[in-house]
Amino acid sequence: MIENALRDWLNGVELTPESAVLAMMALKLASEFDDKGNTSTAAELRKTILEIMRLLNGSVPDFDPLAEMLKR
């Protein structure tokens, strides 16, 4: 669920090499969160997504990871 939403968002943005690496990490974290639901994974996922957003020159996309997690 979270992984699919994250993948959709990432497909809509242009990633730099640095943000692409973080995107891969975020997708792995999202997959793990979808499987196990650990809050520590959610916290790391949120931090990783925020870092990707910072690398994209501060642009704030419509994707809100916290809102997606709260839909669970």
Residue 12, pLDDT score: 92
Residue 56, pLDDT score: 85
Domain count, the chain: 1
Range of the domain at 40: 2-70
In degrees and rounded to multiples of 5, residue 64 shows phi and psi of: -120, 105
Block residue for tokens 């640095």 = 18
**pTM higher than 0.85 for the full model?**
no
* 72 residues of the chain, pLDDT tens digit each: 899 999 999 999 999 898 999 999 999 999 999 999 898 999 999 999 999 988 886 655 566 666 666 765
Residue 59, pLDDT score: 55
Q: Looking at the chain, how many residues does it have?
A: 72
Going by the DSSP 8-state scheme, the letter that residue 22 receives in this structure is: H
